Amino acid sequence: MLMNNKPIIVVAGEPNSVFSEIFCKARIKQKIKNPIILIVSEKNFTQQIKKLGYSFKINMVNKDKIEFQKLNNNKINLINVDLKFKKTFDKISNRSNDYIDTCFSVALDILKKNKCLGFINGPISKKNFLNSKYLGITEYLASKTLHHKNAVMLIYNKRLSVSPLTTHLPLKEVYKHITKKKIINHIKVINKFYMKRFKKSPRIGITGLNPHCESNFKSSEEKGIIKPAINYLIKNKYKVSGPYPADTIFMQNHSKKFDVILGMYHDQVLTPVKTIFGFDAVNITLGLPFIRISPDHGPNTSMLGKNQSDPTSLIESLKFLDK
Q: Residue 75 pLDDT > 70, yes or no?
A: yes
Helix, strand, coil distribution of the chain in percent, nearest 5: 40, 15, 45
Residue 8 in this model has a pLDDT that exceeds 50: yes
Where does the pLDDT of residue 83 fall: very low under 50, low under 70, confident under 90, or very high at 90 and above?
A: confident
Whether residues 26 and 7 fall in one domain: yes
The verdict on 21 and 140 lying in the same domain is yes
Instruction: Give 201's DSSP letter.
Output: P
Strands 161-164 and 204-207: unpaired
Task: Answer with the one of 249, 264, 281 that is the final residue of a domain.
Answer: 281
Q: pLDDT by residue (tens digit) across 263-321?
A: 999 999 999 999 998 878 889 999 999 999 988 666 667 677 777 788 888 998 999 99
My answer on whether 313 and 248 are in the same domain is no
pLDDT digits (tens, 9 = 90+) for 209-229: 999 998 767 789 999 999 999
Check which CATH number belongs to the domain holding 19 and give it: 3.40.718.10
Shared-domain flag, residues 133 and 164: no
Give the residue ranges of DSSP H helices in 73-179.
97-113, 126-129, 137-144, 171-174
* CA neighbor of 279 nearest in space, from 157, 106, 162: 157
Shared domain check, 256 and 204: yes
Nearest to 101 by CA among 144, 67, 70: 144
Instruction: Identify the DSSP state of 223.
Output: I
pLDDT for residue 1: 40
Same domain, 85 and 98: yes
* Single-letter amino acid code for the residue at 293: I
* Same domain, residue pair 15 and 63: yes
Q: What are the contacts of 145-150 at 24+ separation with CB within 8 A?
A: 145/108, 145/288, 145/289, 147/287, 147/288, 147/289, 149/185, 150/185, 150/189, 150/286, 150/287, 150/288
Structural domain including 190 reads: 152-281
**Burial readout 20-55 (b: 16 or more C-beta within 10 A, e: otherwise):** bbbbbbbbeeeebebbbbbbbbbebbbebbeebebe
Instruction: Please state the φ and ψ torsions of residue 83, each to the nearest 5 degrees.
Output: -100, 100
Residues 137 and 275 both lie in one domain: no
Q: State how far the alpha carbon of 298 is from the alpha carbons of 145, 242, 294, 304, in Å.
A: 24, 33, 10, 12
Examine the domain organization and report whether 277 and 302 are in the same domain. Answer: no
Residues 247 and 165 occupy one common structural domain:
yes
Report how far residue 121's alpha carbon sits from residue 100's, in angstroms, rounded to the nearest whole number.
10
Digit-coded pLDDT (tens) for 150-207: 889 999 999 999 999 999 899 999 999 999 999 999 999 999 999 999 999 999 999 9
Q: Where are the beta strands (DSSP E) in 149-196?
A: 152-156, 161-164
On whether the CB atoms of residues 287 and 142 are closer than 8 A, the answer is yes
Phi, psi of 126, deg, nearest 5: -60, -40
Residues 68 and 84 in one domain: yes
The structural domain count of the chain equals 2
Specify whether 57 is located in the same domain as 121: yes
